[in-house]
Amino acid sequence: MELVQLRVSQINGCAVCIDQHTKDAAHAGESSVRLNLVAAWREATVFTDAERAALELAEQGTRVADAAGGVTDEAWANAAKHHDEDQLAALLSAIAVMNAWNRMNVITQQPAGGYQPGQWG
């Protein structure tokens, strides 16, 4: 989930959320290689098919203005192939909430860099 939240935040240019989700993921044991490759996940070989499906859903769910109709049927079917209904609901909620937090933080120009893992709960 941290990788999805990180990717959404990268797309939206939300530095404070990028800081938080990078640090939380590293604190939870995520490797620096995978964290550094999230922005280029399509070309990276370090992600599972399920993670790729989640990252694609996150990108299309974030870039809704870039594609008429939002998430493609293909991206949705691929996500559903790798995630059950509860997992899909969690992914959709995380993508939507992350987009909202990104916008609030970008609008209010929240500074980044000082987050400590677990600081927000």
At 57-72, the pLDDT tens digits run 999 999 988 866 789 9
Predicted TM-score (pTM) of this structure: 0.93
Residue range 69-95, pLDDT digits in tens = 789 999 999 999 999 999 999 999 999
Domain ranges of the chain: 2-107
Q: Which helix (H) or strand (E) holds 54?
A: helix 49-62
Contacting residues for 60 by C-beta, under 8 A, at least 6 apart:
67, 70, 71, 72, 75
Q: Which CATH number fits domain 2-107: 3.30.2320.50, 1.10.490.10, 3.50.50.60, 1.20.1290.10?
A: 1.20.1290.10
Mean pLDDT in the chain?
Answer: 94
